[in-house]
Structure formats: C-alpha cells, structure tokens
Amino acid sequence: MDVYGQERTMSQENGSTVRVAVRAVGAVTALGDDADALWTGARSGRVGIRPVQRVDLTGVRTKLGGEVDAPLESPHHFPQPGGYRDRVVELALRAADEAVAAAGPAIRRAGADRCGVVYGTCNAGLLSGREWLAAVDRGERPAPALAPMSTPQAAAEALAGAFGFGGPVVSVNTACASGANAIGWAADLIRSGQADLVLAGGADALSDVLFAGFHSLEALSAEPARPYSQGRSGLSLGEGAAFLVLVREDLADQDDVLAWLGGYGLSGDGYHPTAPRPDGSGAAQAMATALRTAGVAAAEVGYVNGHGTGTDKNDPAETLAIRTALGPAAADVLVSSTKSVIGHLLGAAGAAEAVVTVRALEQQTAPPTASYLGPDPACDLDYVPLDARPLDTRVAMSNNFAFGGSNASLVLLRSDDERRPPVPTLDDVVVTGQALLGPFGDSVAAALAALDAGIPIPADPQGRAATMTVDPEPYLSRKARRRMDRMTVTAVVTAAKALAEAGYEDATERAGIGVILGTSAGPVESMARFTRGVLADGASGADPAVFPSTVYNQAAGQVAQQLGLYGPTSTVSAGHASGAAALAYGYELVRTGRADTIVCLAVDLIDDLVVRAYRDLGVLSLTPGDRRFAITDTSVAIILERRETARRRGRRPLAELAGYGSASRVRAGGVSWDLDGDASARAITQALRDAGTAPADITRLWPAAAGLEPADRGERAGLGRVFGGELPALRTPKVILGEPVGPGGALSAALAVAELAGDPSGGAALVHATSLGGTAMSLVFRPCPGDNQEGV
C-alpha cells in the first residue's frame, strides 16, 4: 500500500482513540487579565459585574456588565484598517498570548505547520462592521479592509498570523455555544490527524448594538445576574476571551497536563429562535453524547459548570436537562454558573467556563454561584450558593446553550485520569442527495448547464454581481417565514430540496439528522437592518423581531426547527472556504458516528452592502476577464450519510466523500491570499493522505479559481507542487458562475458529485477552496460504482 493509504489507516485506526490534553489556558475577563484572576475570582464568588464605562447605555434597562478594564496592548501585528483597532481581536490576542506562552514546548515539538486555530464567536467583528456601516451611511469612504474585519474568520486568521500557525484555521459561530463548540471541533482535528495542537476558544466584546438587542428582548437584569435563584430577573452581559491549548497526548509531558478533554456533544433544539426547549431534551442530548464519547458514566460526574444565564426560561430548562442526562446522579452533582461573576460572554462563554472547569478539577474545588438569594422550585439542584465547596471527582462537565437552539457540552477529566475515549465505529461517508440554488436556476443540473454554456455574469460599472429569487412554497408557510430574512428562507428551501432528493420524507426518520451551515458574510441583511436602527435611535431603535436573526447560526436553527432536524448542529466559517469547512466538519461527525446523517449547508447572499465592500477592496470585477471576480448568490445543501445507513434505507450513493485536508499560511497584519501556494499544497496533500488516494488517482480537479489573478496564481503554484507539470482535467465553475463567497467549495462539491454520479467508473475528484485570508481546504470525492451497480 502506498504512503497515502498507510497514513489514512493510521489516522482512522489509532487517531480516533488518541487522548487530547489541555496543555495551557489563557483568559481575560472582568475579573482580571489572566486565567488565574478568572479562577481566583470565580472561586471566591467575587462579582465583576459593575457599571459599564466604555459603552453608552442611554435608554438601556441596565447600566451593568462584565466589562474588561485590563489594558489590551498587544505586541502582535494585526489588521488595523484605517487605524481602527477592533476590541474583539485585542481581547482574543490577550487571552491567546497567555495560553500560547505557557504551551511553548509543546508548540515547538509539534511544529508551527501542525498547529491550528478554532475560534468561537457570537458577534464576530461587530464593532468593525458597525464602524464601516456608520461611515457608509454618512456618505464617507471607510478603509476598505474594515468590512472583511467584520467576519468571524478575520479574527481567527489574525490569531494564526500572530503566532505563525500553519494548520487548520476555522471559526465557529453558534452564538452562546461557540466557545465550547470550538473546543470540541479542535479535539476532532487532533484525533483525526489534521493537526497535532490547536488553540481553541473564543472572544466577544460589549457594544451598544449588543446591549440594545438584549434590552429589546427584555432579557437584561438591572442587578448582577442571579442564575438558578429565586428573584432572578435576567442576564448580565459580559465581554472577554479565553483559550485552551489542546495537544495530542504524546506531545505533552504528563506533569504539564492540566486536564483531558474526554468528549463533547452537540445537538439542535429545533424549537424557537431564542428560547430553549422547556423540557431541556435538546440540551440533555448534547450532554449524553458528551458522556458517551468520553466513555464516562453519569454517576462519575461530580461537577457541572452550567450555562446558568439567570433568565426565567433557560435555568429551569437546563435543570431538567441535567436531571435527564445524569438521571439519579443529578441529585448529588454540584452545579454552578460562572456567569454570576463575569456575566454572559456569549461566544467566549464556553471557553471561559471551560477554563474554570479545568481549574475546578485541578484544585478539586467547586466555585460558587454568586448573588444567589434562595431556591426556586423550578431549579432544584445543588447550585453551590455563595461559597465554594470541596470536590472529590475525576470528571466535570461544562454546558453552553444558545440562540437558534445550538447546544454544546464538554466532558473534562482530571489530569491523572488514564481512561481513553471509546473507539468509534467508523464508516464511509457518502452523498445521498443535494440541492443547489443560484441565479442560474434551482438545481445542480441547471448549474452544470450554465457552466457548460460558458456565459459569464455580464459587465456592470458598479460591479458584476448576480442575485436570485427563491420561491418558499411549499416549504414555508407565510406565518413561518414572516420574521425570516432572505438568508434563512433560502437555507430552509435548499435543505428541504436536498432531503427530498435523499429520500428523507418521514419526520421520524429526520429527527436524528444534524445541520452544519457554512457562511462567510453571515446574515448581512439582518445585521445591517438592526444596527441601523440602533445607530439612528439608540436603544429605542432596536427591533426585537430582527435581533434574533443577527446571529450567524439562526439560519441553521430555523432549518432544524422547520424540518424537524434535532441532531448535531453547528455554524462554521472559513471565509471563502466556509462551504468546504462545513463539509469537512460534517464528514468528521458522520464518519465517527456522532450522527448517521447531516445536512451540510453553505449560504451567502449578495446585497448592495456586500457589493460595496468587495468593490472598495478592489477585487470585484467590472467586466469579464479583468483579473478580478464577479460575486453571486448561492445556496448549497449536500446530504452526508454513513454508508451503512444509506444501505439500510435502500439509497444509492451519488459519491463518497473520502477525506479532507486543511492548512494555512497567514501573513500577520493583513488579510491576504496564499501567495506562494504553500497552504494549498499542504491542504491538498493532507486530503489525499486522509482519503488514501494518490495524486495520479485524481482525474477531475475543481480549484478555487474565480478570476482574481493574485489568488489564482498562488493556487496554481500549490497545485503544481502536488501534481507536477500535468494537472488533472480542470473545472473552474466560479469563473463563469461567479464567486459565491462562502459556498464556493460546496458549489464545486455539488457539481463534482453530479459528474461522479453520472460517470461512476471514472476516477476521483478533488475540490479545493481558499479563504482569501491564507486558509486552504481540500476535499476528495470518489465514485461509488459498486453501490450503483448493486442498487445498494
């Protein structure tokens, strides 16, 4: 067997049981400028929620928040368009600096190109976006690079550039579950052999837009939050950042291990845009998966760092979730909420609370729930009120539940615990259905016909851009779509079409299906609409009907709710490689049995603001062939399924997703493409190894090329390194159909799968995507001739 097959076997057979160590932590919160300050403050119940100084809270119900007052000067060179320093990047760098410095020996052993970043955030670069939008609306010309700083991937790549990491760089955008989800995905990247060390965590910053949003929902407490307590009246917002350095076990000396990441679980409530399932069943499912993947019994859990927001609906639902997941053992478990001392850090919450959980295991101390007044009949667990308590446990959990119904739970093990995670039952991952919507039509066949016709998007002096109109009938009623933005409607329709093609008509069959959404720009329409209201009229201009749709994962949540999909859910971003990232994450979850089936979605839609942003950057084409790219609306849904599940359902696979690879080469201080093709070459090589495929086996190549010559030139150099002078047959759909922004890799994947299904005796296909910021991702698809001939 060749080296590709050998490495794949090693990864699949041994990598899945590799233990993942927590080697270092870092944090900056309202309790201080490092992880020790966070832990000592949490342990003592010292409340860092106090009057906010930096944000104008005129008209907001509360004047309090968990504001960071530590200085944030950074020695790192990071993007500062027009001199604007985005606070969320500064927070992220401050916390990451601490973690990376402590993990120095492990980083050196791993090598920078085997170190990655998984960054969780709820609001991404909201402050940069606000600054850019306000300037545009004033008729000014803001710094062009300010707009891309509003995306989640910008901060992720700023971190990679600051530390010189060259492994996978991705971001997770599941609102308040982002930090925990990022930590879980990072562990997957290590166990699957994509990276040896990953900086994982999250950051979010306070802003007037954020306060106005929660004020409009009447969710804010006028006093420091009192999670689980009688008399609680809402949540307290906070800001900050926290990171864990996760490392493959053989790269960490036992004496340096702070804890082990045992397992994690994801689920989707599919219930409501902002509220949890009242019975806590969705959250309980995530907790149960975390326990199962860690090989831990419910009775072994001694401490739960709860989501504990202090709202009327969240705290009772979580209480029921803990009781459901832990059963009789819930009566003895200690539960506390770190949000009672630092506020709700949104996308950073799961990471900060994981840091506290690691310290709780280290010091065998359960930190208290501060500001607790007394028991509430609906919250009847032991919440460690007011004072810390001793622990005697090897196992702790950390829970985070979010807008859009995204749930994430982590299981952490004490450093002297020797158990290994159970070996998952691996299976091939096949495609059983797909849907593709764009200006070319509402099917994959229509896109292929448009590609073959070769007619590009016409010239336009304002920029070549193509949009589409989506018919929501019969997939959404008027009532259901009344408060949905265009992105959400499009996502639901696309997912429904793909599920129908895959034969998932029965609601009971769909219940366990997961949803992974990839997007670069996110819900631009809702974000702009909501922010403009606040910019014009302050808190009174905040529209509570729009605010829930400003989170990146709301579209995925609505897909789950409308179509009855309650399996693992996440929303991810990797710039223009977001669609490929969604497929890669879905592949990991399906291959290892966390889900039998997942809908991998990729959606980005074009409006005047998106056109303005790309035009100002100088990358938007005005006429065909001018060495820039056109942009286009695109929505893709690809159904990934375990081969055994497809066989049991009697479905013929269209193709097999055989493996993937990801790498990066980010230049510190600015958003730029992979100039010399180094990241592309390493991502492609990793994908081939993961798939057990040699370069000569690839007969169809779908590159990221869209017409932007500097980026395309770098990609060509990377392809040349892998394939030599003779490339496989090239298909460049984005040159004709336009650059779909985030969904580009998913667009190429759908077209590649269609061609493989039509020619099952042909060779394999490689799909390549790049972020434009230095991140590259590759996917290998193979035909399924045996399945097609035998009818499964």
Query: Active-site residue numbers?
Result: 176, 307, 344
Both structure tokens of 391? 């622990």
Closest C-alpha among 585, 430, 422 to residue 16: 422
Helix residue ranges, H only, 69-204:
87-102, 104-110, 126-137, 152-163, 178-191
For the beta carbon of residue 650, count every other beta carbon within 10 angstroms. 9
Peptide bond into 474 cis (omega under 30): yes
**How long a stretch of residues is the chain?**
792
Strands (DSSP E) contained in 126-275 are 169-172, 197-204, 240-248, 259-268
> Which H/E stretch holds residue 324?
helix 314-326
Task: Report how far residue 86's alpha carbon sits from residue 146's, in angstroms, rounded to the nearest whole number.
Answer: 9
Q: How far apart are the first and last CA of the chain?
A: 27
Judge contact between 677 and 719, C-beta under 8 A. yes
Alpha-carbon distance values, 177 to 201, 267, 338, 564 (Å): 11, 11, 15, 20
Judge contact between 566 and 267, C-beta under 8 A. yes
Both structure tokens of 3? 């080296």
Task: Report how far residue 609's alpha carbon sits from residue 291's, in angstroms, rounded to the nearest whole number.
Answer: 44
Q: Is the dihedral of CA 310, 313, 314, 316 positive or negative?
A: positive
**DSSP helix/strand/coil, 245:** strand
Provide the CA 372 distance to its chain's centre, in angstroms. 33
Torsion of the alpha carbons at 555, 557, 560 and 562, rounded to the nearest 10: -70
DSSP letter at 276?
Answer: P
**DSSP helix/strand/coil, 368:** coil
**DSSP helix/strand/coil, 702:** strand
Judge contact between 527 and 550, C-beta under 8 A. yes
Q: Which residue reads 């060495």 in tokens?
A: 627
Both structure tokens of 610? 């998106």
Judge contact between 143 and 81, C-beta under 8 A. yes
Closest C-alpha among 449, 450, 445, 487 to residue 470: 487
For the beta carbon of residue 312, count every other beta carbon within 10 angstroms. 15
Helix residue ranges, H only, 674-778:
678-691, 709-723, 733-737, 744-758
User: What is the three-state SS of 374-443?
Assistant: CEECCECCECCECCCEECCCCEEEEEEECHHHEEEEEEEEECCCCCCCCCCCCCCEEEEEEEEEECCECC
**DSSP helix/strand/coil, 216:** helix
The DSSP code sequence of 661-682 is EEEE-PPTTS----TTSHHHHH
Judge contact between 193 and 11, C-beta under 8 A. yes
Task: Report how far residue 606's alpha carbon sits from residue 490's, in angstroms, rounded to the nearest whole number.
Answer: 12
**DSSP helix/strand/coil, 272:** coil
| CA–CA–CA angle 555, 559, 560 (5° rounding) | 120
DSSP letter at 202?
Answer: E
Closest C-alpha among 122, 409, 362 to residue 241: 122
Judge contact between 246 and 234, C-beta under 8 A. no
